[in-house]
């Protein structure tokens, strides 16, 4: 018997020696069982405007959680009443929870999501009647100014693609910037997640900290972002553009900072936060006016007459004509069998200044011919490519590099494009003559348009436009100021002065007299982009003050008719608002007219539609 | 006083010390098994550890009482005690309470009792009494049957009540029978039956029968000159083949599904996920203890309730996790010392009753130890039986205490009793 005892005891000890001393995998298995890594979510950074006004913040909302196993003797009637649900809803909710993946009656389940602080505080008083229920605070983004939706962007649950790309950082259910600044500055705004190690028991309940929190790391709050936006100006712009499709882009010329960027129709960014995000998103997505579309950076238009200063500058720089170049304008321009019409009757321009003032088509057709028919170049491809490069140096046909997620390059057609279209020798200055007045294949975005005038205001350079000025660490208060490239145009700087003089005359005496503001030397150019689908697009781009430009602005009102009809007055109001902060008494009727101008009928939309969209905003 | 002193002097204090050590270690292990971050008192009676402390006091009192009763009492009243406890075990079927599918509990106020636990010492007394009887020879069939009946009756009752695990423990008494001279062919037949049962569960039945036929054919071929042996072998083959088919029936019809699963787990067969949970978690707990363990009250498997039945059946995994290989070594060492000491004490008994009883005590304790630790480290099937003196449970602690202390008492009087 002793032998049996010793034999079995030895067998046990050998087995134990193997389990405990030799095989090391059990330690890991036990850790996997018992220690769970939890993410500690940082608060997302705040967003300010250029003057320090808070424009995006986090608001606490509450998820009502329930641990079903603990939910006994619940005052169901009272709870239903407080949540505004019926007894059936209540029971259904529990059934729904049970269907969810990973459901455990020991674990917290979200019973009601995203209750407002108001609703929750009412509920909180009675929470003692509902054992097993408790509130869990989360935050959602809140936009006190309700504007600049496409710039600020939104956050939403991360999709599979982003999860794959993040190398394991994002997990399903995490929030991530989906558009606008939220997307581009996700890394800074998002902060750094912390880790918490806790013990979990067999029911996956948290049972206290592992190693007294020794291995835990704190979450680092997201950086605050100070934008270049002037939120007052942005609000004003959106008001001016209401009931009109189009864009306003305002840039501070010497810094490239975007002061305001209106995409109309816009939407209240608060719509894409909180419980009704999905529903509202679908509503906005289906809207025929495309409120989710960021027009300032994505919509492209032929620049029309607003392009004329560029044509003039190229001709002057190429020395194909002097500043005092004279062109006879009889109202028609006859060329290579074409009969082209000038927009209105005016005296023949003796120089570029007057040509700009009157927006004389004949003058710029001739100028364009002078550029393209330049005998210093071997053939049209050479000269046309040079022309393209001039345009590119203004940020046309290329991306400006703005710090927003999507941007169109616009279009400066290449010589190859015309080769394909007409054959290598099949095109001449007459074939592409409409480029001379900003029509034809040329397309620019409102942002590029504003950028051209920022470049002119700077007399030959532009800074990459941007919407973020500074990024601040909320803890150390250290600032990071992103640097931006300076792009020097290929123009001979001596010719900016006469062109600017001409642009000033446009507002003082020319086509944009409706934009004249006493005391402000506004320079600019109207444009009327031909629109095959309906009324012409009204355009204006300019800058002010002439001597020391503080703001460059481009306005496009789709189907707004002549540039002077809508775009020029709106631009002048933006400039006046920005520079003077108030609108002169005598211009108030103009302001009123602009704000009340309603073009929705031209887009085939009833007026009620947009009103409805802005109606359900909660405080 | 003088008499009392004389008893104290004769008590085998080494055994008592081993007993006290095991019970104390058990109590600490139980506290650890139920310990939570709220750090309740060791004596909190709402927890198993606190209750165990009450049982320990009760056991100490009973041990004391046993020691002052003259040992002749146990010899004289062996059969009445046996009869009484059989009745008690039977009564469970009428007044018992069902706990975890087993109707073998009796509730007395806030305490629950498992009479089947107490039956063990009664059987030990009865079988010792019977085997020490004059003219009783275990080699004779008449006496064999009686001995088998003494062990078998409570075993059948307990099986019927659904506690097959406890029933298996009565097989421990067969060790005593062998010690007393039961022929080894019982052991051969017994192990053959077990081997056949296991094989019939892992090998397809027809294959097994064919295999057995092959073996039988070879044996018959070599002993073809002896008709008697050939016929016997053929007979054995037929019986074995019938048995193979009946095992399947027994396995599927008589055993409960959880018992089937436990056997399947041990045989390495595929079972539904989660059925091998207990044993896997127990092995993880023990394996993760390493050489020195995670430290007292630091076992994560134990604390976080990954191992079920932590304070009762799987108490060994708690010790293995928190005290590591060294702790396991100490426990096994203590048990082996106890067994050796008990065997030594048994051998020195002059009376056959005392010697037989000593073997009974050792066999019972050894069997529990074997199955319980074997189960915790994954080499024996999961049978819900306690680790003597260590596991939580009033009935089992009382039962083992009574079992052991009657022997200690018998030992003190080894020079007085001749038979």
**B316-335 tens-digit pLDDT:** 988 988 898 999 999 999 99
Mean pLDDT to the nearest integer, A219-236: 92
pLDDT at A613: 37
- Taking the C-alpha atoms of residue B147 and residue B164, their distance in angstroms, rounded to an integer, is 21
Q: Do B218 and B334 fall into the same domain?
A: no
Residue A391: pLDDT above 90? Answer: yes
CA angle (B53, B56, B62) in 5-degree steps: 150
Question: Going by C-beta distance under 8 Å and a sequence separation of 6 or more, which residues neighbour residue B237?
Answer: B212, B213, B216
Q: Is A540 within 8 Å of A433 (Cβ atoms)?
A: no
Q: Which of B180, B266, B287 to mutate to test the interface with A (most CBs of A within 10 A)?
A: B287
- B339 falls within a domain: yes
- Which residue of chain A comes nearest to B300, CA vs CA? A34
Q: Do B112 and B144 fall into the same domain?
A: yes
Nearest Cα of chain B lies from the Cα of A108 at a distance, in angstroms, of 18
- B419 falls within a domain: no
- Taking the C-alpha atoms of residue B376 and residue B314, their distance in angstroms, rounded to an integer, is 6
Look at A30 and B284 and tell me if their CB atoms are within 8 Å.
yes
- Which residue of chain A comes nearest to B285, CA vs CA? A30
Residue by residue, pLDDT tens for chain B (419 residues) are 344 556 777 888 999 999 999 999 999 888 888 776 566 666 777 777 888 888 899 999 999 999 998 888 888 899 999 999 888 888 877 776 666 556 666 666 556 677 788 888 899 999 999 988 878 888 888 888 888 899 889 888 887 777 777 788 888 888 888 888 887 777 777 777 777 777 776 667 777 778 888 888 888 887 777 778 788 888 888 888 888 777 777 777 666 666 676 666 666 555 554 556 777 888 888 888 888 888 787 777 776 677 777 777 888 988 988 898 999 999 999 999 999 999 999 998 888 899 999 999 999 999 899 989 988 888 877 777 889 999 988 888 999 999 999 999 999 888 775 54
Whose tokens are 């028609």? That residue is A332
What's the per-residue H, E or C state across A20-33? HHHCCHHHHHHHHH
At how many degrees (to 10) do helices B141-160 and B172-179 cross? 170
Nearest to B198 by CA among B251, B272, B237, B152: B251
Q: What would you report as the CA-atom Rg of chain B, rounded to the nearest whole angstrom?
A: 23
Q: Which of A2, A8, A19 sits opposite B343 (nearest CB)?
A: A2
Domain boundary (B265, B298, B333) is at B265
Q: In Å, what is the CA distance from B354 to each residue of B120, B132, B179, B359?
A: 16, 9, 14, 9
Q: Do B166 and B73 fall into the same domain?
A: yes
How confident is residue A198, by pLDDT bands cut at 50, 70 and 90? confident
Asked whether the CA dihedral A555, A561, A563, A567 is positive or negative, the reply is: negative
Q: Do B257 and B313 fall into the same domain?
A: no
pLDDT at A323: 92
Whose tokens are 């309906």? That residue is A534
Nearest Cα of chain B lies from the Cα of A215 at a distance, in angstroms, of 17
Q: Beta strands of B101-147 (E only): which ranges?
A: 102-108, 111-113
Q: Pull the structure tokens for residue A384.
A: 């046309």
Q: B337 CB near a chain A CB, below 8 Å? A: no
Instruction: Measure the CA dihedral B202/B208/B214/B215, to 10°.
Output: 60
Residue A522: pLDDT above 80? Answer: yes
Q: Do B145 and B289 fall into the same domain?
A: yes
Q: Do B276 and B223 fall into the same domain?
A: no
Q: B373 CB near a chain A CB, below 8 Å? A: yes
Residue B326 structural domain: 2-186+266-412
What does the mean pLDDT of chain A come to?
87
Q: Is B147 within 8 Å of B170 (Cβ atoms)?
A: no
Q: Which of B290, B304, B329 sits opposite A201 (nearest CB)?
A: B304
- B59 falls within a domain: yes
Look at A1 and B179 and tell me if their CB atoms are within 8 Å.
yes
Q: Pull the structure tokens for residue A578.
A: 């920005």
Q: Which of B288, B360, B363, B373 to mutate to test the interface with A (most CBs of A within 10 A)?
A: B288
Domains of chain A: 31-53+145-223 (3.90.1310.10), 233-609 (3.40.710.10)
Q: Which of A5, A17, A19 sits opposite B336 (nearest CB)?
A: A5
Q: How far is CA A494 from the centre of its chain?
A: 36
- Taking the C-alpha atoms of residue B364 and residue B338, their distance in angstroms, rounded to an integer, is 12
What's the per-residue H, E or C state across A157-194? ECCHHHHHHCCCCCCCCCEEECCHHHHHCHHHHHCECE
CA angle (A478, A483, A488) in 5-degree steps: 160
Asked whether the CA dihedral A359, A361, A366, A368 is positive or negative, the reply is: positive
Q: Each residue of A449-478: pLDDT tens digit? A: 999 999 999 999 999 999 999 999 988 888
Q: Do B251 and B153 fall into the same domain?
A: no
pLDDT at B59: 93
Q: Do B192 and B304 fall into the same domain?
A: no
Decide the pairing of beta strands A246-252 and A224-227: unpaired
What residue spans of A492-601 are helical by DSSP H?
496-508, 567-580, 588-596
Q: B284 CB near a chain A CB, below 8 Å? A: yes
Q: Do B141 and B217 fall into the same domain?
A: no
Question: Going by C-beta distance under 8 Å and a sequence separation of 6 or more, which residues neighbour residue B227?
Answer: none
Residues of B within 8 A of A197 (CB-CB) are none
Beta-carbon count within 10 A of A185 CB: 23
- Taking the C-alpha atoms of residue A59 and residue A116, their distance in angstroms, rounded to an integer, is 9
| Coil, strand or helix at A113 | strand
Residue A127: pLDDT above 60? Answer: yes
Q: Which of A147-161, A237-251, A279-293, B96-110 has the highest mean pLDDT?
A: A237-251
- B200 falls within a domain: yes
Q: Is A61 within 8 Å of A123 (Cβ atoms)?
A: no
Q: Higher model confidence: residue A203 or residue A456? A: A456
Q: Pull the structure tokens for residue A141.
A: 């983004």
Nearest Cα of chain B lies from the Cα of A29 at a distance, in angstroms, of 7
Torsion region of A42: left, alpha or beta (phi above 0 gives left; psi -120 to 50 gives alpha):
beta
Q: Do B280 and B392 fall into the same domain?
A: yes
Question: Going by C-beta distance under 8 Å and a sequence separation of 6 or more, which residues neighbour residue B25?
Answer: B319, B331, B334, B390
Residues of A within 8 A of B361 (CB-CB) are none
Q: Which of A3, A12, A23, A198 to mutate to test the interface with B (most CBs of B within 10 A)?
A: A12
Question: Going by C-beta distance under 8 Å and a sequence separation of 6 or more, which residues neighbour residue A255?
Answer: A228, A463, A484
Decide the pairing of beta strands A54-66 and A133-142: antiparallel
Q: B328 CB near a chain A CB, below 8 Å? A: yes
Nearest Cα of chain B lies from the Cα of A28 at a distance, in angstroms, of 8
Q: Is A48 within 8 Å of A145 (Cβ atoms)?
A: no
- Which residue of chain A comes nearest to B307, CA vs CA? A202
Instruction: Measure the CA dihedral B68/B70/B76/B81, to 10°.
Output: 0
Number of domains in chain B: 2
Nearest to A148 by CA among A286, A254, A287, A248: A248
Residues of B within 8 A of A209 (CB-CB) are none
Nearest Cα of chain B lies from the Cα of A106 at a distance, in angstroms, of 14
Nearest to A394 by CA among A311, A494, A296, A482: A311
Mean pLDDT to the nearest integer, A425-451: 91
Residues of B within 8 A of A4 (CB-CB) are 366
For chain B, how many residues are written? 419
Q: Is A541 within 8 Å of A513 (Cβ atoms)?
A: no
Sheet holding A206-209, edge to edge: A35-40, A194-200, A206-209
B41: enclosing H helix or E strand: none
- B418 falls within a domain: no
Domain boundary (B265, B300, B326) is at B265
Q: In Å, what is the CA distance from A593 to each residue of A566, A570, A573, A590, B330?
A: 9, 10, 12, 5, 96
Nearest Cα of chain B lies from the Cα of A36 at a distance, in angstroms, of 12
Look at A30 and B300 and tell me if their CB atoms are within 8 Å.
yes
Q: Which of A16, A31, A201 sits opposite B325 (nearest CB)?
A: A16
For chain A, how many residues are written? 619
pLDDT at A619: 33
Residues of A within 8 A of B288 (CB-CB) are 26-27, 29-31
Nearest Cα of chain B lies from the Cα of A203 at a distance, in angstroms, of 9
Residue A477: Cβ-neighbour burial (10 angstroms; 0-12, 13-18, 19+): exposed
- Taking the C-alpha atoms of residue B322 and residue B319, their distance in angstroms, rounded to an integer, is 5
DSSP A244: S
Look at B304 and A17 and tell me if their CB atoms are within 8 Å.
no
Q: Which of B284, B304, B325 sits opposite A207 (nearest CB)?
A: B304
Q: Is A550 within 8 Å of A521 (Cβ atoms)?
A: no
CA atoms within 13 A on the CB side of A75: 11
How confident is residue A585, by pLDDT bands cut at 50, 70 and 90? very high
Q: Do B27 and B143 fall into the same domain?
A: yes
Q: Is B215 within 8 Å of B241 (Cβ atoms)?
A: no
Q: What would you report as the CA-atom Rg of chain A, rounded to the nearest whole angstrom?
A: 32
A529: enclosing H helix or E strand: strand A523-529
Backbone angles phi and psi of A525, in degrees to 5: -145, 130
Q: Each residue of A307-348: pLDDT tens digit? A: 999 999 999 999 999 999 998 888 888 877 777 777 777 888
pLDDT at B36: 66
DSSP A350: S
CA angle (A502, A507, A513) in 5-degree steps: 140
- Taking the C-alpha atoms of residue A244 and residue A569, their distance in angstroms, rounded to an integer, is 14
pLDDT at B51: 85
Q: Do B106 and B85 fall into the same domain?
A: yes
Q: Which of A64-73, A138-147, A265-274, A307-316 has the highest mean pLDDT?
A: A307-316
How confident is residue A105, by pLDDT bands cut at 50, 70 and 90? confident
Asked whether the CA dihedral B299, B301, B307, B308 is positive or negative, the reply is: positive
ipTM: 0.81
Look at B287 and A29 and tell me if their CB atoms are within 8 Å.
yes
Whose tokens are 């009664």? That residue is B122
Question: Going by C-beta distance under 8 Å and a sequence separation of 6 or more, which residues neighbour residue B258?
Answer: B101
Domain boundary (B265, B282, B300) is at B265
Of A45-49, A442-446, B304-308, the one with minimum mean pLDDT is B304-308
- Taking the C-alpha atoms of residue B51 and residue B59, their distance in angstroms, rounded to an integer, is 12
Mean pLDDT to the nearest integer, A31-37: 72
Look at B288 and A30 and tell me if their CB atoms are within 8 Å.
yes
- Taking the C-alpha atoms of residue A427 and residue A421, their distance in angstroms, rounded to an integer, is 9
């Amino acid at each position: 018997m002793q032998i049996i005892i010793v034999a079995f005891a030895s067998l046990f000890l050998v087995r134990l020696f193997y389990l405990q001393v030799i095989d090391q995998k059990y330690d890991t298995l036990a850790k996997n069982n018992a220690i769970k890594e939890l993410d500690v979510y940082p608060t997302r950074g705040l967003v300010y405007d250029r003057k320090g006004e808070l424009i995006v913040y986090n608001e606490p909302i509450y998820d009502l959680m329930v641990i079903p196993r603990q939910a006994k003797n619940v005052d169901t009637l009272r709870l239903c009443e407080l949540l505004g649900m019926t007894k059936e809803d209540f029971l259904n909710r529990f059934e729904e929870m049970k269907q969810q993946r990973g459901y455990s009656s020991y674990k917290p389940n979200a019973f009601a999501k995203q209750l407002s602080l108001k609703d929750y505080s009412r509920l909180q008083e009675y929470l003692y009647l509902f054992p097993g229920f408790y509130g869990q605070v989360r935050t959602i983004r809140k936009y006190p100014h309700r504007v600049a939706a496409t710039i600020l962007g939104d956050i939403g649950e991360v999709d599979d693609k982003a999860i794959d790309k993040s190398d394991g950082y994002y997990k399903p259910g995490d929030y991530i910037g989906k558009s606008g600044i939220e997307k581009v500055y996700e890394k800074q705004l998002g902060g750094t997640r912390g880790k918490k190690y806790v013990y979990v028991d067999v029911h996956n309940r948290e049972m206290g900290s592992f190693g007294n929190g020794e291995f835990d790391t704190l979450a680092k709050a997201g950086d605050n972002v100070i934008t270049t936006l002037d939120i007052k100006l942005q609000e004003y712009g959106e008001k001016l553009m209401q009931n009109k499709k189009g864009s306003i882009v305002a840039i501070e010329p010497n810094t490239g900072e975007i002061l305001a960027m209106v995409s109309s129709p816009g939407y209240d960014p608060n719509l894409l936060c909180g419980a009704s995000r999905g529903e509202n998103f679908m509503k906005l997505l289906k809207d025929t006016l495309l409120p989710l579309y960021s027009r300032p950076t994505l919509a492209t238009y032929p620049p029309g007459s607003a392009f004329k200063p560029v044509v003039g500058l190229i001709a002057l720089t190429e020395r194909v004509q002097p500043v005092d170049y004279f062109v006879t304008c009889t109202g028609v321009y006859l060329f290579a069998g074409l009969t082209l019409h000038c927009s209105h009757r005016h005296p023949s321009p003796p120089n570029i200044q007057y040509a700009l003032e009157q927006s004389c088509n004949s003058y710029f057709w001739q100028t364009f011919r002078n550029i393209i028919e330049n005998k210093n170049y071997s053939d049209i491809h050479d000269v046309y490519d040079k022309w393209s490069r001039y345009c590119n140096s203004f940020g046309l046909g290329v991306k400006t590099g703005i710090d927003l997620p999507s941007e169109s390059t616009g279009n400066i057609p290449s010589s190859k494009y015309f080769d394909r279209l007409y054959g290598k020798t099949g095109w001449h200055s007459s074939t592409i003559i409409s480029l001379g007045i900003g029509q034809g294949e040329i397309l620019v975005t409102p942002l590029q348009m504003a950028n051209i005038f920022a470049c002119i205001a700077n007399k030959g350079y532009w800074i990459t436009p941007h919407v973020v000025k500074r990024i601040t660490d909320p803890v150390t208060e250290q600032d990071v100021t992103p640097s931006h490239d300076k792009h020097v145009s290929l123009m001979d700087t001596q010719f900016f002065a006469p062109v600017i003089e001409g642009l000033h005359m446009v507002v003082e005496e020319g086509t944009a007299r409706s934009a004249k503001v006493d005391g402000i030397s506004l320079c600019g150019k109207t444009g009327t982009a031909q629109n095959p689908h309906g009324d012409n697009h009204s355009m204006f781009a300019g800058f002010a003050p002439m001597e020391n430009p503080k703001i460059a602005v481009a306005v496009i009102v789709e189907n707004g008719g002549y540039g002077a009809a809508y775009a020029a007055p709106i631009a002048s109001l933006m400039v006046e608002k920005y520079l003077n902060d108030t609108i002169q008494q005598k211009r108030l009727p103009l302001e009123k007219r602009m704000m009340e101008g309603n073009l929705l009928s031209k887009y085939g939309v009833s007026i009620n539609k947009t009103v409805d969209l802005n109606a359900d905003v909660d405080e | 006083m003088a008499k009392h002193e004389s008893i104290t002097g004769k008590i085998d204090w080494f055994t008592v010390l081993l007993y006290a050590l095991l019970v104390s270690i058990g109590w600490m292990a139980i506290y650890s098994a139920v310990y939570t971050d709220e750090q309740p008192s060791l004596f909190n009676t709402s927890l198993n550890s606190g209750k165990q402390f009450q049982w320990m006091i009760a056991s100490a009192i009973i041990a004391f009482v046993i020691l002052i009763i003259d040992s002749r009492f146990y010899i004289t009243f062996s059969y009445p005690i046996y009869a009484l406890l059989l009745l008690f075990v039977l009564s469970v079927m009428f007044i018992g309470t069902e706990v975890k599918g087993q109707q073998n509990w009796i509730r007395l106020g806030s305490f629950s009792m498992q009479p089947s636990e107490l039956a063990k010492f009664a059987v030990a007394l009865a079988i010792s009494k019977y085997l020490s009887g004059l003219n009783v020879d275990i080699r004779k069939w008449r006496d064999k049957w009686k001995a088998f009946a003494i062990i078998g009756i409570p075993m059948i009752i307990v099986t019927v009540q659904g506690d097959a695990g406890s029933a298996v423990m009565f097989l421990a008494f067969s060790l005593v029978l062998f010690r007393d001279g039961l022929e080894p062919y019982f052991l051969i037949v017994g192990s053959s039956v077990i081997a056949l049962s296991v094989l019939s569960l892992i090998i397809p039945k027809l294959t097994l029968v064919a295999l057995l036929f092959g073996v039988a054919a070879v044996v018959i071929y070599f002993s073809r000159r002896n008709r008697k042996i050939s016929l016997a072998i053929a007979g054995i083959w037929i019986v074995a083949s019938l048995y193979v088919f009946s095992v399947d029936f027994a396995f599927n019809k008589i055993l409960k599904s959880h018992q089937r699963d436990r056997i399947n787990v041990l045989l390495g067969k595929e079972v539904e996920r989660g059925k091998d949970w207990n044993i896997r978690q127990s092995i993880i707990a023990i394996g993760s203890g390493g050489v020195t363990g995670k430290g007292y009250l630091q076992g994560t498997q134990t604390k976080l309730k990954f191992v079920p039945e932590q304070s009762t059946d799987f108490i060994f995994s708690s010790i293995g996790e928190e005290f590591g290989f060294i702790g396991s070594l100490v426990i096994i060492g203590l048990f082996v010392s106890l067994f050796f000491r008990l065997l030594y004490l048994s051998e020195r008994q002059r009376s056959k009753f005392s010697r037989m009883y000593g073997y009974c005590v050792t066999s019972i304790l050894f069997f529990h130890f074997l199955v319980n630790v074997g189960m915790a480290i994954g080499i024996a099937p999961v049978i819900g039986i306690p680790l003597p003196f260590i596991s939580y449970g009033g009935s089992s602690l009382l039962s083992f205490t009574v079992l052991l202390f009657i022997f200690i008492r018998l030992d003190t009087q080894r020079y007085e009793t001749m038979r």
